[in-house]
Structure formats: structure tokens, C-alpha cells
Chain A
Amino acid sequence: MEKTKKIPEIIGTDVPRVDLEEKANGEAIFTDDIQFGNKLLFARIKRSPNPHALIKSIDTRQAENLPGVKAVVTGADFAGRIGLYLKDRHIFARNRVRYVGEAVAGVAAISEEVAEKAVDLIRVEYELLPPIFLPQDAIKPDAPLIHPDLGEYEVVNFIFPEPGTNISNHFKIRKGDMGKAWQHCAAIVENEYYVPHIQHVPLETHVSVAKVDLTGKITLWTSSQSPFAQRDLIADTWGISPSDIRVISPFVGGGFGSKAGVTMEALPIVIAMKVKGYPVKLRLTREEEFYTNFVRQALLIRLKVGCDADGNILAMENTMYWDGGASTEYGVNIARAGGYSCTGPYDIPNVNADSYCVYTNNTIGGPYRGFGMSELHTGIEQCIDELAEEIHMDKVAFRQRNLVESGDILATGMVMHPTGIKDCVDKVAGAIEWGKPDIPSDPHKKRGKGIAAMWKAPAMPPNPGSSVTLKFNSDGTVFVSIGGQEIGQGAFTVAAQIAAAGLGIPVEWVRISKPLDTDNSSYEWQTVASRITWTMGNAILAAAEDARKQIFKIVAEAWMEDEKDLEIVNGVVVSAASKREISLKEFVITGIPKENDQGWIGGPIIGRGMFMPTYVTGLDKDTGQGERAVVHYTTGAQGFIVEVDTQTGKIEIIKAVSAFDVGKAINPDLVRTQIEGGMMQGISSALFEQLIFKEGVLQNPNFVDYRIATTVDIPEQMECFIVEVPQNDGPFGARGVGEHPMVPTIASIANAIYDAVGVRLKGPPFTAEKIYLAMKDQRQTGS
């Protein structure tokens, strides 16, 4: 089997992306670009101005009578609940609103303008309820309940809500003997960190068009990371067959998690139910995008970590309060991910962790690039720095001593697989010349260096599946039908490379079937969790193997040879025995004629393949222990050199270095672009971003008041390292890296700021004002 072990040349090659030409010439179709003709109706949403209230009455009569209005809906029109892990959300509010911006009523009209006018004519009467905005208030025993019916909600078996409280998931780790461990500690650090809400900010806001046929079949055109999960969730909520809802998703203008699961997509469906036969479009305005859909939940994290005199970490106590917002249907699993990864990438024998997902009357928290790991590592990686300092050890050496390695028993009881994290830390330390002081550009400026390591596992149900079909055309080109979405990360290009490698054909022969369409594409759970290269890649290889078997059988029969002697090289079947050759073009549709016109062998080739992890086990509710918590961890590290102006607090990034262990880079330049883009998103979240709420009302829902990084914020110097310790069940050894580059960024910058000026802030964004005031405090207290 020597031939299958060798990695084909196309793997590890910077193949040009397959989607860029149409994106560069403006031809790429996004959902809002699809033309529907004059029948298209426009939807607008009446939203709650209150964070917590009972709906006493809704008067829609005036709106219904407005010329041009085709339908008005409220929560009375649809009773079902929806949610990925916990069905805790109505599509339009019924009886109660739980956050500012919640959908209360919807209108479809002949234009957005008429729809907007109609929305203004809807009168809603509320009875105000006491709101809760902080998770630490929400968990108090006398706190008002945001979801009094929590105990009745349908929930998956690995999420543990506590009915009668505002806690929608409580994930626990109990490992080792904490009492004994603390006694052996020579140094202990305790600290609390806070990471505020931020928004994904895809440049394309959410947009969905729903049509319901007179037969009841639903079609949804939508910008989506998860056409299949959306189809299945909506079908479940409506009580219809998944075959009666078709989700079509063209190119996605950025997702970052916000376009996973079902959020606003269900709104136009409820409206379309009332105007059958008409497509109904709902496009969120930029303001709506900021606070009516998913945001990244805030995290309050309390850590206590201790080590012995040699610098071995002995124990960690980690308490996380995730501000889940008004619905935690998806967010409950972020709390779980935070729980099972609670140690960060460190080998810690004694662990006590409590990760709480808590309802508040803030906007709904959901998946965001990193799925809780940026927030978690913001705490852990600062705490590790503090502990190293406490025990007087070099911060890199302290990390190297404690980082996870192959064979370690993790906090859940899972055994760690081989990983290149130590190499990653060495590489970034080397690149920022760790330990060597840097000379500031000005006497009143100070430079500092910081490092943070990270790990992240794909967070998902235990059994998310992928499937692929490969369909040949008569010229040897092949359509690859996948369900993984191109959200900018390069999934289609990597799919083409893996298909070419698996089949043995030139990559130019591979076509990715698009747009994704649940009626025609192959099933894929969701394009989330940095899982697509790994899981879809495996399914493509399985489909390629299936096609090859068919091809070899045909050729072997025609040539009367042994299948084992055949191989496909550059689109040509060659025999090692007879040295005969035949191009795929000659037979993959038509088959091969038998000699003397005596009939045919073969026919159109279709390869099919699937992949699903079957080995992930459950974790004990009370201890978090189980054999295999996750499929694998991608690890890495970042290092920063920053310069802080001591007169203004202004911070400048001088150098930013990343190293990640991706197992095998299928397309190294695409790995680099993920690292660069993700790190910049991380820098943006570290320096600028925070959703500022006042009594539940967002104060900065625009790009002027909510600033994201722009061209002028690019670090002076950037460097990327790709480390490759193969994943035993990855395609050619590959693991995902889509989310990881923004995970260690906040902590790494925080550590660099501390190194420069000796101040530690409770959390980002690290604005000039906060740094300046912290330096001033420090001077006054003389600490």
C-alpha cells in the first residue's frame, strides 16, 4: 500500500483559489443579488424597545390596512420553539420579550418603505418586568426568572439546564484532589477577568428570502454557514419533513459564526406562510445586525492557579459565567466547550471547573470565531503569566514546562494526541526575540513583549456527519457535491485539491457544485468549528476511493488485468503490469467498448463517501469525566511586541507573530491568510471592540461608534509559522485552523502591555484611556 501513503504533490501546494475571479469581477452571487422579479415582497420587523416585559396587546389593524401591505404576523401566528441545543426561543415573541430588539411582529409589503411604515403603525402595549444585565446578578437565588419554563424546553443530552434558575447549562469538571493540591503549591495566583460583548461584523448583513408554495413546500435562499442544520431545525420546529424545505445558499459575505444555526432566517418563513407563492425578503440593516442577531457573549472568569516550587502547575479552579443573553439555544454549548477546555493547553492534574451559561436580558449570544476560546484564554494566559512571575520563572520556560503533550491525561480524562504546541511557542518566542529588551521609538514610550499559547477543539455534537458525491463529466472533469460552505476561508479550493489528490486527476478538472442547495448538495452538518477541511476532506477522500474502485474494476475487466496493478496518474489510468494507459476522458461516462464490437463495460462513474467521528463519548454530568471529550485539539501560540505611549496610553503593535499546528497545510498560503485575518480580528477585539449597552439598549450600533480594525491598524511587522504534526484521522494529516488565530490574541497583547508598563487591565478593549488611567492609578498607589 506504499502508493496511498505518499502525499500527492497537489497537497501542500499554493493552488490559486477557485472562487476569486468571479469575486474580483463583481459577478459572484450573494443572497441579496438573486433576482426574484416583481413578485418579491419586502419584510421589516417590529422590535421590542424593552429588555424585559410582558406583551399585553398588539394592534396590527392600521398596519394591515396600509396600501401595499400583504401580510402582518405576530407571535400568535406561530407557536413553535426553535434552538440548536436547547429549544428556548420563539421566532416571534409570544407573551414576553426578553431583550431590546426581539422580534414582536413582522410585515411583508411591496417595498421596504411601505413595510417600514407599516411597522411604525403597529401598536404594542407592554407591562415592564425587572431586567437583569449581569450574569452574576442573574444567578442570585432571588433573581427574577427570565425563562420560567426552562424545565419544559427540549434539550440535547449533553447540556444541563437548572430549571427554576437562570442557569441554562452548568458544566462541571471535578478531577483530582484540590485540597491536597493547594497544600503543595509554592505559589498561587487568583484573578478575575472580563471579556465584553462584541459583534461578528460580517460585511454582508444577514439576508434571507423565504417562499412557501401552496403545496406547503418551503424554499429559503439565505446567506448561511449551515444550510442543512437550518433545514433540519426548521423542519423540526414546523413539524414537517426535511424534504419539504429546501435551503439554497450562494456565496456568504462573511460569517464568523453569526450565520450558523437558525437566527433571523425563520422570520421571513413565518411571514411567507401568510402570503403563499410570494418570495419574502428580509435583509438586516447594519444597525439590526449589531444587536438583533447573534453577538459574542460576554464572559466573567475567575481563576485560581497554583504551582510547586519547580514551576509545575498542580491545580486550577476555574469559574466561568457566560452572559448568554435572552436565549442560549446555541450558547449553552459554548459554556460546555469552555468547561471541557478549561485548563487551556496545560497539563494540570487537579482541576475544579464550573462553567455556567446564564440567561440575561442582553442580546442573544451565539457562536463566534473561537467559540468561547478567545474569552477563556484571555483569562488563562494572563493568569499563567502572573503565576510564572510569582514563582520567579521565565514565562516561556514556565509554559514549556507545563504545556500539554502526547499522552497527557486532560481535565476530562481524555488522552492527548501528538501536538506541536511546544514548537509553536518556541517559534513565536524566537521571532519576537523573547528576553531581549527592545528599544522604544521615543523616550516617553515603552516597549513590551507578550506571549500566549492556545488550544481549541471543534465544539459540536458527538456525531456531526459529512457526505460527498463525485460526478464525472465526459471530458474527465468532475463535479464535487459538498455541503461545506465557502465563507471566505477557501473551503472550495481545499475541497478541489483534496478531490484532485484523492482521484489522481489535475486540480483544474475539479468543479465544486454550487450554490449549496439542500435538495441537491451532499449532507454536511455545518460550516463551523474549523471542522470542514478535516471532516469534509475525509468524506471527499472516501468518495474518491469509491470512484477509483469503480474505475479500476472497469479497466481491469477491459484489459483483463489485476485491479491492484492499476493507478490513476494525472487523469490517466496506467497499468504497472502491462504499461497500458487510458485517459479517464475516454470512459468515465461512456464506458469501454469490448473487443470486436461485443458490447460495453462500465458506465457513468459516481463516487460517494462519508465521514463521521464515531468515537466521541459522553462526559459525566457531575465530574465532566469521559473517555474522549472531543475529536482533537488544534494548538498554537502568538507573540506580540507593543509600544505604549506613557503620556497618552496609546498602544501600537510593533510586531505580531503566530504559529499554529495545522497537522498538514493542504494549501499553505490559505493557512497563512486565515492566520493573518484571524489575528487581525483578534487585534481588533483587543484594542477597539465592545458593544456598549445602557439598560439593555445598544449605544454604538454603527461603524463610527463601534470601530473595527482598518488598514492603518496593520502591525508594522507580521510573521506566520505553520507547524505540522499530523492528525491521525485527518485528510493527509490535516486539522482545521479557521478560528484559532484570534484565540490567543487578547491575552498575548495584554501580556505585552504588562511587560511594557506594568499594568493589567481586567479586560479588553485596551483603549488608550484605560491604559492611561491604569498607569496613573499605579503611580498613585505606588504598586
Chain B
Amino acid sequence: MKTYPITIMINGRKEQLDVSSNLTLLHMIREKLALTGTKNGCEAGECGACTVLLNGEPVNSCMVLAVECDGAEIMTIEGLTESGEIKELQESFIKLNAIQCGFCTPGMLITAYAFLKRNPNPTEAEIKTALVGNLCRCTGYERIVQAVQDAAHE
């Protein structure tokens, strides 16, 4: 399959890659860049486990093609952890036991992070609506909503 050269900023660093036309952003992140904090839950844009920031906006990385990302800025859980930007949220999730198996956690944190940037003082209902696309089978969500509220009030 034909490959295309792309240049991206990933977690604050410039990378040049050759990607095939059908490679998804998810597979590029996990396999080409070995950034395994981004999780593959359904590859159909339905569970939110693969959420990353693309030019500052949360996207299901399984629904984006790598070739579309030429020139784009991408942040994954690794980059957000390293920069410390997501620290309050991470601390709130830990403090409130809003994590069980942890598989949905990176995607959940990134969706919540992007949401709090847009809406720093949300109501409980707004938080619930914002996270509706991120599935979690373990926690029952209550702690997650509380953790986002807690981080917003920090």
C-alpha cells in the first residue's frame, strides 16, 4: 500500500513518519510510536478509550486517519502527564477511587481535561453530558463525575 510522509507534533516533539493511507491515528500512536497509554476499545468510535487531543480537541483516534494529521499537534496521556497539565485531574481520580481496571482511564481523563478547559466551572449535569461518549464498565461513573467536579474546584 502507498505510504505518505507526514510531519506531526506529538507530545510536544516533532516526528516525521511514513504512513499508509488506511492507517488510523490510533494505530499510528500505539504501533508506530509505541505510546501504549492510548487504548483500543472498539475501533468504531463508540467507547472513547482511544481519546487523544488533536489540535487541542478530543477525538476518538480510531476514527481519524494518520494522513489527515499532517501538520497537526497531538497530545496523548503520556504527553499530558509529562507536561503536568492533567495532574489535578489525575490526582482527583486517584483520590476518589474513580479508577478500577484502568483501561478507560486515559481516554476518560483526556475527555474530562478538554471539557474543563472549555468549561472550568461545570455543573454535574454538564459533566455527565461531556463524558457520555466514554464507556466504563467498572466504576458505575459516580466517582468519575465526582473526580471531575473535584478537579474543577481545585
Partner-B contacts on A (CB < 8 A): 16-17, 19-21, 23-30, 32-33, 35, 200-205, 251-256, 283, 285-286, 487-490, 669-670, 673, 676-681, 702-704, 708-714, 718
Kindly list chain A residues whose C-beta atoms are within 8 Å of the C-beta of B105: 23-24, 26
**Residue in chain A with minimal CB distance to B97:** A673
**Chain A: minimal CB distance from B31 (Å):** 10
- Residue from A205, A488, A702, A709 within 8 A of B101 (CB atoms): A488
**Residue in chain B with minimal CB distance to A486:** B101
Known: A17-B97, A286-B41, A711-B132. A26 touches B106 (CB 8 A): yes
Known: A26-B78, A203-B135, A676-B142. A251 touches B101 (CB 8 A): yes
Contact check, A711 vs B145: say whether CB atoms are below 8 A apart: yes
Kindly list chain B residues whose C-beta atoms are within 8 Å of the C-beta of A201: 135, 137
Contact check, A704 vs B137: say whether CB atoms are below 8 A apart: no
Those of B33-48 within 8 Å (CB) of chain A: 34, 36-44, 46-47
**Chain A: minimal CB distance from B22 (Å):** 8
Across the A-B interface, give the 7 residue pairs with the lowest CB-CB distance, nearest first: A26-B37, A680-B140, A23-B102, A488-B101, A253-B103, A26-B77, A488-B100
Contact check, A710 vs B97: say whether CB atoms are below 8 A apart: no
Looking at B40, B127, B143, B144, which has the most chain A CB atoms within 10 Å of its CB? B40
Partner-A contacts on B (CB < 8 A): 34, 36-44, 46-47, 49, 76-78, 81, 90, 93-95, 97, 99-106, 109, 127-129, 131-145
Cα distance, A490 to B76, chains bound together (Å): 26
**Residue in chain A with minimal CB distance to B104:** A203
Known: A26-B76, A487-B101, A710-B132. A677 touches B138 (CB 8 A): yes
**Residue in chain B with minimal CB distance to A33:** B36
Q: List 20 A-B contacts (CB under 8 A).
A: A17-B99, A20-B97, A24-B93, A25-B81, A26-B106, A29-B36, A32-B36, A35-B34, A203-B103, A204-B103, A251-B102, A252-B101, A488-B100, A673-B143, A676-B143, A703-B135, A710-B133, A711-B129, A714-B141, A714-B145
Contact check, A25 vs B102: say whether CB atoms are below 8 A apart: no
Kindly list chain A residues whose C-beta atoms are within 8 Å of the C-beta of B38: 26
Kindly list chain A residues whose C-beta atoms are within 8 Å of the C-beta of B77: 25-26
**Chain A: minimal CB distance from B33 (Å):** 12
Contact check, A20 vs B99: say whether CB atoms are below 8 A apart: yes
Kindly list chain B residues whose C-beta atoms are within 8 Å of the C-beta of A256: 137
Contact check, A24 vs B42: say whether CB atoms are below 8 A apart: no
Known contacts A253-B102, A255-B101, A712-B128, then 14 further A-B pairs from the complex at CB < 8 Å, ordered by chain A residue: A20-B99, A24-B90, A30-B103, A32-B36, A202-B137, A203-B104, A203-B137, A204-B41, A204-B101, A256-B137, A286-B47, A673-B139, A679-B140, A711-B129
Contact check, B141 vs A680: say whether CB atoms are below 8 A apart: yes
- Residue from B36, B94, B101, B136 within 8 A of A21 (CB atoms): B94
**Residue in chain B with minimal CB distance to A283:** B40
**Chain B: minimal CB distance from A435 (Å):** 27
- Residue from B44, B106, B145 within 8 A of A703 (CB atoms): B44
**Chain B: minimal CB distance from A392 (Å):** 37
Kindly list chain A residues whose C-beta atoms are within 8 Å of the C-beta of B141: 680, 709-711, 713-714
Cα distance, A286 to B135, chains bound together (Å): 13
**Residue in chain B with minimal CB distance to A713:** B141
Cα distance, A544 to B79, chains bound together (Å): 41
Cα distance, A253 to B136, chains bound together (Å): 10
**Chain A: minimal CB distance from B62 (Å):** 10
Known: A202-B137, A703-B44. A23 touches B99 (CB 8 A): yes
**Chain A: minimal CB distance from B115 (Å):** 11
Kindly list chain A residues whose C-beta atoms are within 8 Å of the C-beta of B138: 254, 488, 677
Cα distance, A677 to B144, chains bound together (Å): 11
Cα distance, A253 to B105, chains bound together (Å): 10
Known: A16-B94, A488-B101, A711-B145. A703 touches B46 (CB 8 A): yes
Cα distance, A27 to B38, chains bound together (Å): 10
**Chain B: minimal CB distance from A467 (Å):** 25
Cα distance, A29 to B35, chains bound together (Å): 11
Contact check, B100 vs A203: say whether CB atoms are below 8 A apart: no
Kindly list chain A residues whose C-beta atoms are within 8 Å of the C-beta of B104: 203
Cα distance, A673 to B100, chains bound together (Å): 9
Kindly list chain B residues whose C-beta atoms are within 8 Å of the C-beta of A253: 39, 101-103
Looking at A32, A488, A711, A714, which has the most chain B CB atoms within 10 Å of its CB? A711
Kindly list chain A residues whose C-beta atoms are within 8 Å of the C-beta of B41: 203-205, 286
Contact check, A32 vs B40: say whether CB atoms are below 8 A apart: yes
**Chain A: minimal CB distance from B18 (Å):** 15
Cα distance, A87 to B14, chains bound together (Å): 55
Kindly list chain B residues whose C-beta atoms are within 8 Å of the C-beta of A711: 127-129, 131-132, 134, 141, 144-145
Cα distance, A703 to B47, chains bound together (Å): 7
Contact check, A26 vs B101: say whether CB atoms are below 8 A apart: no
- Residue from B46, B106, B109, B139 within 8 A of A704 (CB atoms): B46
**Residue in chain B with minimal CB distance to A490:** B100
Contact check, A24 vs B94: say whether CB atoms are below 8 A apart: yes
- Residue from A670, A680, A702 within 8 A of B97 (CB atoms): A670
Cα distance, A488 to B101, chains bound together (Å): 4
**Chain B: minimal CB distance from A441 (Å):** 15
Cα distance, A202 to B50, chains bound together (Å): 15
**Chain B: minimal CB distance from A316 (Å):** 33
**Chain B: minimal CB distance from A92 (Å):** 25
Kindly list chain B residues whose C-beta atoms are within 8 Å of the C-beta of A20: 93-94, 97, 99, 102
Contact check, B90 vs A25: say whether CB atoms are below 8 A apart: yes
- Residue from B39, B90, B132 within 8 A of A712 (CB atoms): B132
Kindly list chain A residues whose C-beta atoms are within 8 Å of the C-beta of B128: 711-712, 714
Known: A20-B94, A24-B90. A714 touches B140 (CB 8 A): yes
Known: A23-B102, A681-B140, A712-B132. A203 touches B94 (CB 8 A): no
Kindly list chain B residues whose C-beta atoms are within 8 Å of the C-beta of A488: 100-102, 138
Kindly list chain A residues whose C-beta atoms are within 8 Å of the C-beta of B101: 202-204, 251-255, 487-488
**Chain A: minimal CB distance from B5 (Å):** 20
- Residue from A19, A24, A487, A714 within 8 A of B142 (CB atoms): A714
**Chain A: minimal CB distance from B35 (Å):** 8
Kindly list chain B residues whose C-beta atoms are within 8 Å of the C-beta of A25: 37, 77-78, 81, 90
Kindly list chain A residues whose C-beta atoms are within 8 Å of the C-beta of B34: 35
Looking at A17, A254, A669, A704, which has the most chain B CB atoms within 10 Å of its CB? A254
Kindly list chain B residues whose C-beta atoms are within 8 Å of the C-beta of A28: 102
Kindly list chain A residues whose C-beta atoms are within 8 Å of the C-beta of B40: 32, 283
Cα distance, A251 to B36, chains bound together (Å): 13
Contact check, A710 vs B135: say whether CB atoms are below 8 A apart: yes
Cα distance, A251 to B105, chains bound together (Å): 13
**Chain B: minimal CB distance from A384 (Å):** 26
- Residue from A16, A286, A718 within 8 A of B44 (CB atoms): A286
**Residue in chain B with minimal CB distance to A17:** B97
Cα distance, A24 to B131, chains bound together (Å): 17
**Chain A: minimal CB distance from B39 (Å):** 7
Kindly list chain B residues whose C-beta atoms are within 8 Å of the C-beta of A254: 100-101, 103, 137-138
Kindly list chain B residues whose C-beta atoms are within 8 Å of the C-beta of A21: 94
Known: A24-B109, A714-B128. A676 touches B44 (CB 8 A): no
**Residue in chain B with minimal CB distance to A16:** B94
Contact check, A19 vs B102: say whether CB atoms are below 8 A apart: yes
Known: A27-B37, A251-B101. A708 touches B135 (CB 8 A): yes
**Residue in chain B with minimal CB distance to A741:** B140
Kindly list chain B residues whose C-beta atoms are within 8 Å of the C-beta of A203: 39, 41, 47, 49, 101, 103-104, 135-137
Cα distance, A673 to B97, chains bound together (Å): 7
Cα distance, A776 to B94, chains bound together (Å): 48
Kindly list chain B residues whose C-beta atoms are within 8 Å of the C-beta of A489: 100
Cα distance, A27 to B81, chains bound together (Å): 10
Cα distance, A566 to B44, chains bound together (Å): 61
Kindly list chain A residues whose C-beta atoms are within 8 Å of the C-beta of B37: 25-27
Contact check, B43 vs A285: say whether CB atoms are below 8 A apart: yes
- Residue from A16, A202, A702 within 8 A of B46 (CB atoms): A702
Cα distance, A678 to B139, chains bound together (Å): 8
Contact check, B100 vs A677: say whether CB atoms are below 8 A apart: yes
Looking at B99, B132, B134, which has the most chain A CB atoms within 10 Å of its CB? B99
Contact check, B36 vs A703: say whether CB atoms are below 8 A apart: no
